[in-house]
Amino acid sequence: MSFVQSLARGVVRTFYRLHIIDHSLVPASGGALIVANHLSFIDVLFLAASIDRPVKFVTSREVYNNPWLRSLCRAAGAFPLSPQDPPKTIIRTFAAVREVIKEGELVCMFPEGGLSRTGNTLRFNRGLEHIMRDLSEPIIPVYLDRTWHSIWSFEGGKYFFKRPRQLRHPVTVMFGSPMLSSTKVFDVRQKVVELGAQAFRYRLEEKMTLGELFFDEVMRRPFAPCIADSTGKNLNRWQTFVVAHALSRQLAKLTRGQEFVGIFLPTSVASAVTNIAVAILHKPVVNLNYSSGREALRCAVEQTGMKVCVTSRAFLEKLQTTPPCEGVFIEELWDKISFVQRCKAMACVFLMPAFLAHRYVFGSWKYRSVDDLVTVVFTSGSTGQPKGVMLSHANIIANLEGFHQGFKVRSSDVLMGILPFFHSFGFAAVLWLPLASSMRAVYHPSPLDAKVVGDMVRNHRATLMMATPTFLSAYIKRCEPGDFKTIRYTIIGAEKLKAVIADACMEKFGFMPLEGYGCTELSPIVSLNFPDDRSSGTLQKAHKPGTIGNPLPGVAVRIVDPETYRVLGPYEEGLLVVKGQNVMRGYFKESEKTKEAFVDGWYKTGDIAFLDDDGFVTITDRINRFSKIAGEMVPHIRIEEAIHKAVQATEPMCLVAAVPDDRKGEKLVVLTLKDVDISSVREALKAEGLPNLWIPESEMFFRIDAIPVLGSGKLDLGTVKRLARELALGSKA
């Protein structure tokens, strides 16, 4: 090992805790090209300290020419390279690297071409293909994890000048199996990203449960604003903890012998505090879907065996309903919080040492694990009977970790919470994201109360919001431009974001919605469009309209053939499958359905998509939103988009479904919110170049009063199919 490499090992192991995984995969002799992601200025040191053999690095010419580093770079045999170099210089550098590898040495390069400032893995340049062309030596993929949280990364929007989070910060270096020299750059990048998903597991070994993360934030900033809602409740962090801690003691008695605790409350301070109380108890919670029918609620209660649920008299009166099991009323629990209970909780925050306070609130650490169940989320049943999705603390925390790495979240941020907690996006991002970080949250239970939501965003100066295209469309219609002037980011999910809604939002409010994608089984976020970065004068692309963005850090995706599960290449459409620490533990009491949901450890989403060279994912349709007509797969979404274009719609106004057909297997049905000139639409679809099989018959256009959606904002596919079938059969009669 060279002197420079020995020096790097000494420095790194003094200031960092290096967790090296599978370093034996680096060949003991012979040449190889090591390929790694690049998130911090000292990634070279981490790699040099992790490999037992001498390594030469391809480094940026700017670093190589730095007066402070020039001597070290030359002593280490580094190869300087810059995208601004003349083509001949780049070719000579590649040739020099090839020769060194052929002579049996190790060379490491960062094919992103520079330091990532978005927190995600950037596109890989094709230089590695030129270097390895016709060589017999392997490519060794490596993922460096947790380097984003070091002072040498761009976390927080700046390099350096940051206070270290902790002494001897942990860093994971994960090596992958050698790949053939002929491997395409797209596949190499995919492998590195997949290693990143594996490496996330080691983050969770040092994590606390969600309740403990919240308590940690309380201890750090007890007087910081925490949660508020449209009823006028407004609590800071220690006030929130005091109420939650007292409620947890009451719920411990009321739910003794009950494995699950049910909550039948709308999005509000009361619901948030109750969820925290259950987390302190370390029992799994079921936020019951009050927008579903009585049968779905009965199913949830019976499956989990819950005896009581926390609810509200005012809420039940408003819904004109009864709780699905014995109701415990939050108003009464809140009133029963005694002065002594408040004093004990306040003593934890202000008087006890942190370790004693933690032990008093949560008990012994031996009885808690991040792998324990935190919630069962019952799916909305858009395509069948609801299933109970089991999510652990680790699932939710991994998702929040990935979100934080992609977004520059500030302590001054205020989240406008409108999504229900019975929805996985609401549970993870609206409830626990602000509670487990430094943000504040304000809640309103009805996302379609556009005027109220607009007023709350304006009055509380909200900066972040999670919504669906349906909800955003209502705000565009009914809210004033000034209502949303403080919003920095609005993250859109649950359904496809139409370009007309995104453009209207940009025109009226001045921000572009960032589309993402997820599902309940994945805790729930898979991918997001992050904000682009231009801080260095060059663009690092993190946002592509029309796509669902890049997978979150820690999440790996593949596109596979829906029938053979063969892995497909860039721009090839197929089934989207997902792997990572965010993937559910399984379906509650449904082992067979759990097995059916996976292939070789990858979760099958049921969505058809493709990946581009930059790693962005584009959803083209769901498997159950395709029709097989005369043996050809016909995507419904593409036809909907073409119809919207034909009628120049400024918002979604039609749906395409299918019904059985004796002659061709299935036939298309169009459900529209307004009358259209059917012959003109059909001619426009032909002019657009759609195949004849994709053009619905004239008699299969039907008017409907409203687009069916679930309480989560997703399209209610079950109702859509039923409507299409009833209308199509009725037209024949």
- Per residue in 266-322, pLDDT tens? 999 999 999 999 999 999 999 999 887 787 888 889 999 899 999 999 999 998 888
- Please give the CATH architecture assigned to the domain spanning 210-611: 3-Layer(aba) Sandwich (3.40)
Report CA-CA distances (Å) from 101 to 227, 391, 425: 58, 46, 48
The pLDDT assigned to 584 comes to 95
Please state the rounded mean pLDDT for residues 530-541: 80
pLDDT attached to residue 733: 45
Number of helices (H), then strands (E), in the chain:
25, 33
- Residue 638's alpha-carbon distances to 69, 196, 609, in angstroms, are 54, 33, 13
Given a cut of 80, is residue 380 above it in pLDDT?
Answer: no
Residue 692 · residue 682 · CB < 8 Å: no
Average pLDDT of the chain, as a whole number:
88
Nearest to 35 by CA among 128, 136, 173, 120: 128
> Residues 343-366: what's their mean pLDDT?
83
Residue 376 pLDDT greater than 90, yes or no: yes
Distance CA 485, CA 354 (A): 40
Amino acid 538: pLDDT: 76
Q: Are 408 and 118 in contact (CB under 8 A)?
A: no
Number of residues that this document lists for the chain: 733
User: What is the CB-side half-sphere exposure of residue 558 using CA atoms within 13 A?
Assistant: 24
Annotate 263-280 with DSSP letters as a single string.
Answer: E---SSHHHHHHHHHHHH
Whether residue 422 has pLDDT greater than 70: yes
Q: Which of 7-11, 212-216, 493-497 has the lowest mean pLDDT?
A: 7-11
Residue 186: enclosing H or E segment and its boundaries? helix 185-204
pLDDT at 319: 87
Give the E-state strand segments of 95-160 in sequence order: 106-109, 139-145
Confidence class of residue 720 from pLDDT cuts 50, 70 and 90? confident
Place 666 in a pLDDT band, splitting at 50, 70 and 90: confident
Q: 81: helix, coil or strand? A: strand
Q: Strand, coil or helix: what is 311?
A: strand
Q: What is the tens place of the pLDDT at every residue in 442-467?
A: 999 999 899 999 999 999 999 999 99
Instruction: Flag the least confident range among 86-95, 380-389, 717-726.
Output: 380-389
The candidate with the shortest Cα–Cα distance to 290, out of 321, 317, 254, is 321
pLDDT band for 611, please (50, 70, 90 cuts). very high
Buried b (16+ CB within 10 A) or exposed e, 227-266: bbbbeebebbbbbbbbbbbbbbbbbeeebeebebbbbbbb
pLDDT higher than 50, residue 243: yes
Three-class DSSP category at 398: helix
Read off the pLDDT of each residue in 591-612 and give the average, rounded to a whole number.
92
Q: What is the mean pLDDT of residues 485-493?
A: 91
Q: Does domain 630-732 have CATH number 3.20.20.70?
A: no
CATH of the domain spanning 3-204 = 3.40.1130.10
Q: Which two tokens stand for residue 295?
A: 């049968």
* β-strand partners of 464: 415, 489
- pLDDT at site 102: 92
Residue 27 DSSP code: -
Residue 632 has pLDDT above 80, yes or no: no
Q: Report d(CA 68, CA 427) in Å as an integer.
A: 49
SS3 645: helix
Given a cut of 50, whether residue 252 has pLDDT beyond it is: yes
Residue 124, phi-psi category: left (phi > 0), alpha (psi -120 to 50), beta (remainder) = beta
Residues 6+ apart with CB under 8 A from 310: 251, 261, 262, 263, 264, 265, 274, 327, 328, 329, 330, 333
Q: What is the pLDDT of residue 382?
A: 45
Q: What is the pLDDT of residue 111?
A: 93
Give the residue extent of every domain in the chain: 3-204, 210-611, 630-732
Residue 278 structure tokens:
């259950």
Tracing tokens 């004693």 back to the chain, one arrives at 356
For residue 158, pLDDT over 80 is answered with no
Name the token pair of 226: 């925490």
Output the pLDDT for position 595.
93
CB-count exposure of residue 510 (10 Å: 0-12, 13-18, 19+) = exposed
Closest CA to 141 of 128, 127, 153, 131: 128
Res. 1: pLDDT tops 60: no
What is the rounded average pLDDT of the residues 625-652? 79
- 610: tokens are 């493709």
For residues 145 and 143, what is the distance between their CA atoms, to the nearest angstrom? 6
Q: What is the DSSP letter of 355?
A: H
Structure token digits, residue 333 = 């629990």
Q: So what's the pLDDT on residue 3?
A: 63
Selected residue with higher pLDDT from 408 and 697:
697
Q: How far is CA 666 from the centre of its chain?
A: 35
* More confident position, 6 or 34: 34
Residue 484 has pLDDT above 90, yes or no: yes
pLDDT of residue 42: 86
What pTM did the predictor assign? Answer: 0.84
How does pLDDT run across 85-140, given as a tens digit for each residue? 888 888 998 999 899 999 999 999 999 988 888 889 999 999 899 999 989 999 99
Nearest to 422 by CA among 472, 371, 376: 376
- The CA distance from 49 to 142, in Å, is 13
